[in-house]
């Protein structure tokens, strides 16, 4: 999608559909790297796109690709759900994703969730990190964003993102099994963001 069209997705159904089709798979994988419950994953997918619709005009193309902006929305949506354990969230949303799951969807959704089991282990291990550090580490290690893209998604300067990434890796490594190289989580790096959506 042309970035100048992104600010139209909140009011132009055709622009939104193009944006949605480019990103729905990426968003579902993003969620599956963090959530192992099919219904919650579906609800969160809906919430993320609803938030994107509501805030499309906040996107500033000078700061990075639309997907980095979308991943920023996705990250805070999932993090808030994690903190609230999903309570009250589905009730207040305009669209409930879990109500849209059909029998034919289950296998594909479960397969997506199963494929990201190791990523979710790492996601859980990040609980010990400060929020700002966790944000950057998640986006770089789990989602395959570059540091500069992660900075856009986290809303910080690239130099801040680099510092936080360094600290986060160091803390996580120390917290897992000490400073040996094997302690660094080995997750399959997702495709770079540029290849996912544009």
- Binders of other proteins among 51-80, rule CB under 8 A? 51, 53-60, 63, 69, 72-73, 75-77, 79-80
Map tokens 């803390």 to a residue: 171
| By the rule CB under 8 A, 198 interacts with other proteins | no
| One of 3, 24, 147, 173 touching other proteins (CB under 8 A) | 24
As measured in angstroms, the least distance from the Cβ of 63 to other proteins is: 6
Strands, E assignment, 121-181: none
Please count the other Cβ atoms lying within 10 Å of the Cβ belonging to residue 5.
16
| By the rule CB under 8 A, 180 interacts with other proteins | no
Are 152 and 146 in contact by the 8 Å Cβ rule? The answer is no
Q: Which stretch binds other proteins (CB under 8 A): 29-37, 106-114, 178-186, 187-195?
A: 106-114
Find, among 139, 142, 140, the residue nearest to 117 by Cα.
142
| One of 2, 21, 121, 194 touching other proteins (CB under 8 A) | 21
Are 16 and 56 in contact by the 8 Å Cβ rule? The answer is no
| By the rule CB under 8 A, 12 interacts with other proteins | yes
| By the rule CB under 8 A, 182 interacts with other proteins | no
Please count the other Cβ atoms lying within 10 Å of the Cβ belonging to residue 33.
25
| By the rule CB under 8 A, 92 interacts with other proteins | yes
Of 26 and 190, the one with the shorter C-beta distance to other proteins is: 26
CA 2, CA 7: separation in Å to the nearest integer? 10
As measured in angstroms, the least distance from the Cβ of 179 to other proteins is: 18
CA-to-CA dists, residue 29 to 23, 53, 130, 150, 193, angstroms? 10, 19, 24, 17, 12
| One of 101, 175, 176, 187 touching other proteins (CB under 8 A) | 101
| By the rule CB under 8 A, 37 interacts with other proteins | no
As measured in angstroms, the least distance from the Cβ of 194 to other proteins is: 20
Q: Which stretch binds other proteins (CB under 8 A): 29-37, 114-122, 126-134, 180-188?
A: 126-134
| By the rule CB under 8 A, 44 interacts with other proteins | no
Residue 24: HSE in the Cβ half-sphere, 13 Å Cα cutoff:
12
CA 66, CA 194: separation in Å to the nearest integer? 10
């Amino acid at each position: 999608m042309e970035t100048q069209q992104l600010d139209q997705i909140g009011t132009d159904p055709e622009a939104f559909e193009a944006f949605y089709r480019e990103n729905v798979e990426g968003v579902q994988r993003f969620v599956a790297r963090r959530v192992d419950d099919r219904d919650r994953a579906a609800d969160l997918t809906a919430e993320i796109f609803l938030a994107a619709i509501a805030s499309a005009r906040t996107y500033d193309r000078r700061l990075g690709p639309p997907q980095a902006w979308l991943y920023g929305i996705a990250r805070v949506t999932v993090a808030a759900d994690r903190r609230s354990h999903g309570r009250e969230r589905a009730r207040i949303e305009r669209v409930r994703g879990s109500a849209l799951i059909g029998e034919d969807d289950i296998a594909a959704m479960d397969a997506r969730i199963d494929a990201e089991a190791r990523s979710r282990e790492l996601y859980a291990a990040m609980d010990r990190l400060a929020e700002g550090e966790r944000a950057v580490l998640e986006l770089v290690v789990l989602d395959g964003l570059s540091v500069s893209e992660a900075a856009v998604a986290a809303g910080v300067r690239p130099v801040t993102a680099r510092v936080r990434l360094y600290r986060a890796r160091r803390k996580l490594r120390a917290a897992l099994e000490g400073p040996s190289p094997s302690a660094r989580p080995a997750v399959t790096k997702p495709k770079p963001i540029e290849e996912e959506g544009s």
